[in-house]
């Protein structure tokens, strides 16, 4: 997914960026305001082909008991548990970083 496409004139909402890196990032941990140059650098270095799959049957449903317990650390999800609502697949070079932009749309 191209980050520029998300920033088009018709997007109303925010974009959550998930950056996964095999090395520590030269930035403070927590909520941080990025300057455009750093963001552009990370996008060049870490963007890959992103594929997003949505489950048709789970939209609008609450989390399952298994998901709730896994979120609380009481257990781990196993293969027999229901699939998540959304799955992202990002193709990057081995040992490289991955940047996944997730548009958070605001419904009118």
* Per-residue pLDDT, 28: 64
Which residues of the chain are under the pLDDT cut of 50? 1-6
DSSP for 47-100, written as a single string: B-EEEEEE-SS-TTPPPPHHHHHHHTTS----TTSPPPSEEEEEE--TT--EEE
The model scores a pTM over 0.75 = no
Per domain, the residue ranges of the chain are 1-48+92-108, 53-91
């Amino acid at each position: 997914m191209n980050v520029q496409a998300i920033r088009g004139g018709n997007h109303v909402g925010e974009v959550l960026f998930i950056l996964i890196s095999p090395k520590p990032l030269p930035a403070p941990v927590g909520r941080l305001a990025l300057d455009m140059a750093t963001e552009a650098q990370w996008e060049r270095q870490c963007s890959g082909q992103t594929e997003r799959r949505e489950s048709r049957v789970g939209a609008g449903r609450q989390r399952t008991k298994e998901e709730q317990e896994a979120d609380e650390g009481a257990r781990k999800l196993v293969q027999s548990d229901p699939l998540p609502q959304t799955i992202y697949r990002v193709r990057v070079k081995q040992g490289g970083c991955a940047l996944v932009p997730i548009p958070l749309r605001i419904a009118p």
